[in-house]
Amino acid sequence: MYLSKPNPELYNQQKCEANMSLVNEDGKQNCSARLLKVEHLLYQNPNGIQVKDIARLCQVSKRTSYRDLNELETTLKIPLITDKNGYHIADNYFLPPIHFTLTEGLSVFLATRLLFGYSCTYNPDIESTFTKLNSVMPAPFQHQISQTLDKMHDKAADKENIQTMALLCRAWAEQRKVQISYWTLGKKDCSTREVSPYFIEPAAAGHSAYLIGHCGKSNEMRTFKLEHIQSIKILDDKYAIPRDFDIDKYHSPYWGILVDGEVKDIKLSFTPEVGRIMTETIFHPTQVNETLPDQSVLVSFRLADTPDFVSWVLSWGERVKVLEPRELRVKVIETARGMLERYAVQEKK
């Protein structure tokens, strides 16, 4: 079962007209504002509302209300359900309206900025979030949000990835398994897997989002990069996320998205010139800092030395030294030698 997506442009147009009067200057009904009111009435009556009541509250005929409901369903792709109680919106489609304080709105803005920053492709859902936020924030914030919206249109769209995310979101909300065709790095062909989505995690380092869930093929927890999912289908099979599953505990022994390897005690020595950065920033929950008399900083971690952690250590260059464990120190030395050899060959040409 594939998700029928709403039209973001038409939907945002309705949202931007939220404060318009139901009646135009010439005395005629404003269709856009009326459709928005009908949508709000459906929000306010999750168990259902009769067409006659919609018509009465919007001051139109029942025939017009039926046309409005059809417009919401066919043009804006809002899934409507009818029963003895009347019309209502299908569960899990829209979140209920909520109110933010100014600082809460700023938190949403900053979180969305992070999402915008890690993604190098255009995403209409991120744009829609900014657009809605922009309608309620004070003028200074609106200017910054508008600038972000302008920059967003410079990015190329990735329709396949957007559709994949939409389907995963729905499957996760409805607790239904997905069948994916997945390409693994280093493999020539894709493999078909049935996965129970437990979590979707963004990772700035990989400029991507990752599906974390139980893989039926391996019968273990696995991490799947969204861009490597070649096709996806929502299945009818239901699943339940274990009550003791905690994504933060699951990732706590690891540096980034990669879950692999033995957890070790790691000690790094940073030179004084970057020592202050270490004391000012918590890079991992297990981090412990100790400032030495010469102002160098000893930093300890309790985690696995995965490739993404090794890359982070290497990013500090000569300003860091691995003290423990020896295996990590060897990895860094071998990588540094490989880099030197590669550049040496290039310089000889």
Q: What is the pLDDT of residues 197-254, one digit of tens each?
A: 999 988 777 778 899 999 999 999 999 999 899 999 999 999 999 999 999 888 888 8
Per residue in 26-81, pLDDT tens?
A: 333 457 668 878 887 887 788 899 999 999 988 899 999 999 999 888 877 788 99
Q: Given this model, what pLDDT does residue 18 score?
A: 35
88's enclosing H/E stretch is strand 86-89
| CA 224 – CA 129 distance, rounded (Å) | 25
Split into its structural domains, the chain has a count of: 4
Q: Which residues contact 18 (CB under 8 A, 6 or more apart)?
A: 33, 36, 135
| CA 29 – CA 24 distance, rounded (Å) | 6
CATH of the domain at 233: 2.30.30
Task: Please check whether residues 188 and 117 belong to one and the same domain.
Answer: no
**Domain end residue (candidates: 223, 251, 279):** 251
Task: Please check whether residues 124 and 185 belong to one and the same domain.
Answer: no
Task: Please check whether residues 179 and 240 belong to one and the same domain.
Answer: yes
In a 13 Å sphere around the CA of 93, the CA atoms on its Cβ side amount to 19
In terms of residue numbers, what domain contains 69?
8-89
Task: Please check whether residues 193 and 228 belong to one and the same domain.
Answer: yes
Q: Report yes or no: 205 and 308 within 8 Å, Cβ to Cβ.
A: yes
Residue 161: Cβ-neighbour burial (10 angstroms; 0-12, 13-18, 19+): middle
Q: Report yes or no: 253 and 263 within 8 Å, Cβ to Cβ.
A: yes
Give me the mean pLDDT over the 313-340 stretch: 94
